[in-house]
C-alpha cells in the first residue's frame, strides 16, 4: 500500500464572509406542505427522512398548506403574532437601554421569535421549559410581567434574582421557565431529568429542553439524547439552529453535510426538522412532539432551522465575521412578516391592526421600562444590598458566611 | 434495635430507611439497580422499591448528576452514585456550575436537594483511578456540602442527614473502610466491623448531624484533624507512639465544625492535619490556615501536615504513598517535641 498524499486537516468555513454573500444552498429545504406528517407513535427509525427534510406550512404567498397545517384557534395565532411582536419590541428597547448604560448586557432573539412563542402555546402552562438565554419569547407569551424582566435586566431593587445574575439569565418557576445558566447545554440533560421525574411520579407534565446549534457540541447534548432515549423521557429536545454560535458557523459545530435532527435518529429518538420561522409549523411540530411525550411514546428531537438575525449579544459585532445583509438573503425570511402575511390573507389581521399593535406594544414596553427604572438601575446604584450576596448559597447560612458578611461591615 | 453492620450495610440501610420514609427519594447510578452496585451498597433496593425508584444508568457521570438536578428541580430527592470518586470529573460542570449554584442563582426559585455518593480513598491497590481523594475540589465550591464518614454508625446517620438536607451533598465513602476499620497496617488481617462498637448500627431512622465533628479519641498532648481512613491511622499512630493525641473526626469537611477544632487546639496547643489526598492545595491547607487564624496565640509548635505525596496515586508504591501510622506518628513526635 502506498503512503499516499500528505493528509490535510479539514476546517469548515461559511461561504459568506464580510463583503461576500452567503450561499444558503447548504440548507436542506423542502417546499411548504411537501413533508409528510407521521402518526405520533411513529418508530424513531421511521423518522429518518424527516430529519433530512424541512417541515413548512406557510408558503411564499402566505397560504397554509400540507399535512402539518395545525388545528389551531385563530385567536391563538393572533396571540402568537402579538407575542412575537412584543418580544421583538422588547428586545429592541432593551438593546437601546443597554447602549444607554441602563444595563450591562443584553441578548436579542431577533428572527427567532416564532420558536419559543409557538412552542409555549403548544405546551401546557405547567410543562417546564429549560431554556437557553435566547428563549425570552416563552416568558413573553406566558405573560410574565415585562416589569419583572426589566428589573432583572437592571439588577435593581426589584430584581427577582436580587442582583446575583447577569442580565437575561431569568428564572421564573411559576411561568415554567427554568433558571438560566451561563454554562451551555447543562440544562439539556436537566430537562431530561425533570421529565423522568414526572414519569417516576406518574404525572402528566412534560419537559421542553432548549439548546443552540453551537452548544450541541457540548457533552451534555449527547448525554441528554442518550438518557432521553434510554428512559423514554417525556421531553421535547429542541435544537435551535440559527446558523451561528457567536462568530462560528454551524458547520464547525458539526453541521456540515448533515443535520442536527439526524443526531436524534441516530440515538433512537423520533426527530423532526422544521422551518423555525414558520409559526404554524413550529406550533404543529411542537403539538405533535408534546402529544407523543404526553402519551408516553417517548421523546422527540426537533431541529428548528432559523437565522440569528441580530448580533450574538451587545458585546458582539457580527460585521466582523459575516455579511452585513445576510438576514435579508436567508431563504426562510422573517417569522413575523410571514405570520402577518398569513393572518392578513386569512382575514384575521390587517395592516392597520398591525400598526396599531406595534404602537401599543412600544408604549407598553416603554411604560414597563419606566416603571422598572423607578426601582433603580445599575448606573443609579439602586441595587440589592451587598448583604444579599451571602444569602441563599445554602438553605441556611453557615457560620463562615455569617462571619464574612460581618467582615464586609453589614 | 441495633444490628452489627459493615459500612456497606449501613449505607444500604440509610437508603432503605429514606426510600421507605420519603416517596421522593430515588436511587440510581451505574450498576446500582438489578446488580446492587459494584460494592453491594444498593443490593436488594430495586427489588424492594421497584425500577422507577432504583435503577441503572448509562455510563455517564455528567448525565447521572444532570438528570438528578432536573429531578431535584421537579421536587424529587435523588441519592445517586458515582462508581468511583476518581470518575466524578465528567460531572464536575454539573456539580459546580449547576447543583452548587442553582439555589443562589435562582434566588431560591429552584433547588438541588441531591446527594452524590461516591467511593473514595486508597489503600486497596487501586492505582491511579481507583484511589483518589478529591475532597478539596468540592470543599472549594461554594454551595456544596462535603461529607465523609469513618465508620458504619456515622455512615448511616450522615447519609440520612445528607439525603434529608436541602443542599447538594458530596458524600465521600472511604472504600477501604467498607468492610472493616483500617489503621494502615496492611500486613495485618482486616478486623471486620462486627468486632468494633462503631459497627453497631440502629436498624431504623436516626441522623448524625452535618457540620458537627466528633472527638474520636480524647487527648491532651496534641490535636489531630483527620477524616475517613486517616482517623483510624491516626489512632494507631497515637497508640504506637504513646502520644496522647486528641483525634477529631471532622465528618463534615465543609461547612465544618470550627468550634470543636478551635476548642481542642486551644487546649492541646499543637495540631497535626492528616489526609490521604495530595498535599498542595489539599483540604489540609485550609485546615492549617483556619487553625493558624483562630489559634495563633495558643500554638506551641508549627502545624504539621501528613498527606499523600504530590504525585498521582501509584500502584506498586501503594504503601510508600499512603500516609501510614509510621509517617503520622513521626509527625506527632515532631509536633510534641517542637
pLDDT tens series, chain A, 410 aa: 678 899 999 999 999 999 999 999 999 999 999 999 999 999 999 999 999 999 999 999 999 999 999 999 999 999 999 999 999 999 999 999 999 999 999 999 999 999 999 999 999 999 999 999 999 999 999 999 999 999 999 999 999 999 999 999 999 999 999 999 999 999 999 999 999 999 999 999 999 999 999 999 999 999 999 999 999 999 999 999 999 999 999 999 999 999 999 999 999 999 999 999 999 999 999 999 999 999 999 999 999 999 999 999 999 999 999 999 999 999 999 999 999 999 999 999 999 999 999 999 999 999 999 999 999 987 787 888 888 899 999 999 999 999 999 999 87
Asked if the Cβ–Cβ distance from B74 to A194 is below 8 Å, we say: yes
Quote the Cα angle for B228-B232-B234, to 5°: 105
Asked if the Cβ–Cβ distance from A193 to B97 is below 8 Å, we say: no
Instruction: Report in angstroms the alpha-carbon separations of A180 from B15, B85, B103, B133, B161.
Output: 32, 28, 12, 32, 29
d(CA B66, CA A194): 10
First to last CA, chain B: 48
| DSSP category for residue A145 | -
Put simply, the chain B residues between 138 and 197 with a CB less than 8 A from any chain A CB are 142-143, 145, 165-167
The answer to whether A121 touches A77, Cβ cutoff 8 Å, is: no
Q: Give the alpha-carbon dihedral of B30, B31, B33, B37, to 10 degrees.
A: -110
List chain A residues with CB under 8 Å of B56. Answer: none
CA closest to A219 among chain B residues:
B62
Q: Say whether B186 is catalytic.
A: no
Instruction: Report in angstroms the alpha-carbon separations of B317 from A104, A240, A322, B127, B313.
Output: 54, 52, 57, 9, 9
| DSSP category for residue A7 | P
Interchain CB contact of A123 with B (< 8 Å): no
CA closest to B144 among chain A residues:
A394
DSSP assignment string, A178-197: PPP-SSTTHHHHHHHHHHHH
Give per-residue pLDDT as tens, A199-227: 999 999 999 999 999 999 999 999 999 99
Asked if the Cβ–Cβ distance from B94 to A130 is below 8 Å, we say: no
Dig out the grid coordinates for B277 from the structure. 489526598
Asked if the Cβ–Cβ distance from B93 to A393 is below 8 Å, we say: no
The nearest CA of chain A is from the CA of B144 a distance in Å of 8
Interchain CB contact of A227 with B (< 8 Å): yes
> Are the folds of B2-202 and B214-337 the same?
yes
Interchain CB contact of B102 with A (< 8 Å): yes
Q: Give the alpha-carbon dihedral of B159, B165, B169, B175, to 10 degrees.
A: 0
The answer to whether A243 touches A307, Cβ cutoff 8 Å, is: yes
Give per-residue pLDDT as tens, A123-167: 999 999 999 999 999 999 999 999 999 999 999 999 999 999 999
Asked if the Cβ–Cβ distance from B57 to A199 is below 8 Å, we say: no
Residue B154 confidence (pLDDT): 98
- Chosen CATH of B2-202 out of 3.90.1150.10, 3.40.50.970, 3.40.50.300, 3.30.1130.10: 3.40.50.970
Put simply, the chain B residues between 130 and 149 with a CB less than 8 A from any chain A CB are 142-143, 145
d(CA A85, CA B212): 56
d(CA B88, CA A322): 40
The nearest CA of chain A is from the CA of B51 a distance in Å of 9
d(CA A239, CA A302): 6
List chain A residues with CB under 8 Å of B258. Answer: 399-400
pLDDT class for B1, splitting at 50, 70, 90? Answer: confident
Dig out the grid coordinates for A14 from the structure. 461559511
List chain A residues with CB under 8 Å of B52. Answer: 199-200
Interchain CB contact of A169 with B (< 8 Å): yes
Quote the Cα angle for B200-B204-B206, to 5°: 80
Residue B338 confidence (pLDDT): 87
Interchain CB contact of B57 with A (< 8 Å): yes
Looking up cell 436488594 gives: B44
Interchain CB contact of A162 with B (< 8 Å): yes
A107-110, long-range: CB within 8 Å, 24+ apart, which pairs? A107/A133, A107/A134, A107/A168, A107/A312, A107/A313, A107/A314, A108/A310, A108/A311, A109/A134, A109/A135, A109/A136, A109/A137, A109/A310, A110/A308, A110/A309, A110/A310
Asked if the Cβ–Cβ distance from B94 to A161 is below 8 Å, we say: no
Q: What is the mean pLDDT of chain A?
A: 97
Domain ranges of chain B: 2-202, 214-337
List chain A residues with CB under 8 Å of B50. Answer: none
From A179, A198, A201, residue closest to B106, measured CB to CB = A179
For domain B214-337, the question of CATH label 3.40.50.920 is answered with yes
List chain B residues with CB under 8 Å of A206. Answer: none
This complex has an ipTM of 0.97
The nearest CA of chain B is from the CA of A192 a distance in Å of 6
The nearest CA of chain A is from the CA of B252 a distance in Å of 12
CA closest to A160 among chain B residues:
B107
Q: How many CA atoms lie within 13 A of B97 on its CB side?
A: 18
Asked if the Cβ–Cβ distance from A200 to B52 is below 8 Å, we say: yes
3-state secondary structure of B54: strand
From B62, B67, B110, residue closest to A173, measured CB to CB = B110
CA closest to B62 among chain A residues:
A220
Amino acid at each position: 500500500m502506498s503512503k499516499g498524499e500528505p493528509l490535510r486537516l479539514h476546517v469548515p468555513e461559511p461561504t459568506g464572509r464580510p463583503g461576500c454573500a452567503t450561499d444558503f444552498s447548504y440548507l436542506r429545504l423542502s417546499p411548504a406542505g411537501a413533508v409528510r406528517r407521521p402518526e405520533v407513535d411513529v418508530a424513531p427509525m421511521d423518522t429518518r427522512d424527516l430529519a433530512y427534510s424541512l417541515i413548512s406550512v406557510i408558503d411564499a404567498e402566505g397560504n397554509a398548506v400540507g399535512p402539518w397545517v395545525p388545528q389551531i384557534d385563530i385567536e391563538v395565532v393572533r396571540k402568537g403574532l402579538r407575542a412575537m411582536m412584543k418580544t421583538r419590541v422588547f428586545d429592541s428597547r432593551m438593546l437601546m437601554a443597554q447602549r444607554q448604560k441602563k444595563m450591562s448586557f443584553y441578548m436579542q432573539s431577533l428572527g427567532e421569535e416564532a420558536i419559543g412563542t409557538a412552542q409555549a402555546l403548544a405546551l401546557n402552562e405547567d410543562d417546564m421549559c429549560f431554556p437557553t438565554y435566547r428563549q425570552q419569547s416563552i416568558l413573553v407569551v406566558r405573560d410574565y410581567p415585562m416589569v419583572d424582566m426589566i428589573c432583572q435586566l437592571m439588577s435593581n431593587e426589584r430584581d427577582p434574582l436580587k442582583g446575583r445574575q447577569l442580565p437575561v439569565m431569568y428564572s421564573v418557576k411559576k411561568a415554567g421557565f427554568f433558571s438560566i445558566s451561563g454554562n451551555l447545554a447543562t440544562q439539556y440533560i436537566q430537562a431530561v431529568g425533570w421529565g423522568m421525574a414526572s414519569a417516576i411520579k406518574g404525572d402528566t407534565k412534560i419537559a421542553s429542553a432548549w439548546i443552540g446549534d453551537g452548544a450541541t457540541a457540548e457533552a451534555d447534548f449527547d448525554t441528554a439524547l442518550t438518557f432521553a432515549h434510554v428512559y423514554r423521557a417525556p421531553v421535547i429536545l429542541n435544537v435551535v439552529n440559527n446558523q451561528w454560535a457567536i462568530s462560528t458557523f454551524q458547520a464547525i459545530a458539526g453541521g456540515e453535510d448533515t443535520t442536527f435532527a439526524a443526531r436524534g435518529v441516530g440515538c433512537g429518538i423520533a426527530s423532526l426538522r422544521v422551518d423555525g420561522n414558520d409559526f404554524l409549523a413550529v406550533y404543529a411540530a411542537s403539538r405533535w412532539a408534546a402529544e407523543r411525550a404526553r402519551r408516553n411514546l417517548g421523546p422527540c428531537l426537533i431541529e428548528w432551522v432559523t437565522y440569528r438575525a441580530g448580533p450574538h449579544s451587545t458585546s458582539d459585532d457580527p460585521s466582523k465575521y459575516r455579511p452585513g445583509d445576510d438576514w435579508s438573503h436567508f431563504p426562510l425570511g422573517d417569522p413575523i412578516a410571514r405570520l402577518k402575511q398569513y393572518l392578513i390573507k386569512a382575514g384575521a389581521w390587517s395592516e392597520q391592526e398591525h400598526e396599531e399593535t406595534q404602537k401599543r406594544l412600544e408604549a407598553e414596553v416603554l411604560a414597563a421600562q419606566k416603571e422598572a427604572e423607578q426601582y433603580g438601575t445599575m448606573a443609579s446604584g439602586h441595587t440589592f444590598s451587598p448583604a444579599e450576596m451571602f444569602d441563599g448559597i445554602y438553605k441556611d447560612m453557615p457560620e463562615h458566611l455569617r462571619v464574612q458578611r460581618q467582615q464586609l461591615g453589614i | 434495635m441495633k444490628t452489627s453492620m459493615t459500612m456497606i450495610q449501613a449505607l444500604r440501610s440509610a437508603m432503605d430507611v429514606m426510600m421507605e420514609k420519603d416517596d421522593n427519594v430515588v436511587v440510581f447510578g451505574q450498576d446500582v439497580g438489578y446488580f446492587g452496585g459494584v460494592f453491594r451498597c444498593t443490593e436488594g433496593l430495586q427489588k424492594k422499591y421497584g425500577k422507577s425508584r432504583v435503577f441503572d444508568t448509562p455510563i455517564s457521570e455528567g448525565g447521572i448528576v444532570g438528570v438528578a438536578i432536573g429531578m431535584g428541580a421537579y421536587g424529587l430527592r435523588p441519592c445517586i452514585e458515582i462508581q468511583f470518586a476518581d470518575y466524578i470529573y465528567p460531572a464536575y460542570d454539573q456539580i459546580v456550575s449547576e447543583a452548587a449554584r442553582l439555589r443562589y442563582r435562582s434566588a431560591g426559585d429552584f433547588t438541588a436537594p441531591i446527594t452524590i455518593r461516591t467511593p473514595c480513598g486508597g489503600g486497596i491497590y487501586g492505582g491511579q483511578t481507583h484511589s483518589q481523594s478529591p475532597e478539596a475540589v468540592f470543599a472549594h465550591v461554594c454551595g456544596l456540602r462535603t461529607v465523609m464518614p469513618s465508620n458504619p454508625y456515622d455512615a448511616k446517620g450522615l447519609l440520612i442527614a445528607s439525603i434529608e438536607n436541602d443542599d447538594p451533598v458530596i458524600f465521600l465513602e472511604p472504600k477501604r473502610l467498607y468492610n472493616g476499620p483500617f489503621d494502615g497496617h496492611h500486613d495485618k488481617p482486616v478486623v471486620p466491623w462486627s468486632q468494633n462498637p462503631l459497627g453497631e448500627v440502629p436498624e431504623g431512622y436516626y441522623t448524625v448531624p452535618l457540620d458537627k465533628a466528633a472527638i474520636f479519641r480524647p487527648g491532651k498532648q496534641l490535636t489531630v484533624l483527620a477524616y475517613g481512613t486517616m482517623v483510624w491511622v491516626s489512632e494507631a499512630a497515637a497508640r504506637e507512639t504513646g502520644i496522647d493525641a486528641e483525634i477529631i473526626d471532622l465528618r463534615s469537611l465543609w461547612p465544618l465544625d470550627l468550634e470543636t477544632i478551635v476548642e481542642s487546639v486551644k487546649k492541646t496547643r499543637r495540631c497535626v492535619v492528616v489526609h490521604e489526598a495530595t498535599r498542595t492545595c489539599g483540604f489540609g491547607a485550609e485546615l492549617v490556615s483556619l487553625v493558624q487564624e483562630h489559634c495563633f496565640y495558643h500554638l506551641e509548635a508549627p502545624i504539621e501536615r501528613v498527606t499523600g505525596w504530590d504525585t498521582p496515586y501509584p500502584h506498586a508504591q501503594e504503601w510508600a504513598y499512603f500516609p501510614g501510622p509510621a509517617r503520622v506518628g513521626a509527625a506527632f513526635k515532631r509536633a510534641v517535641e517542637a
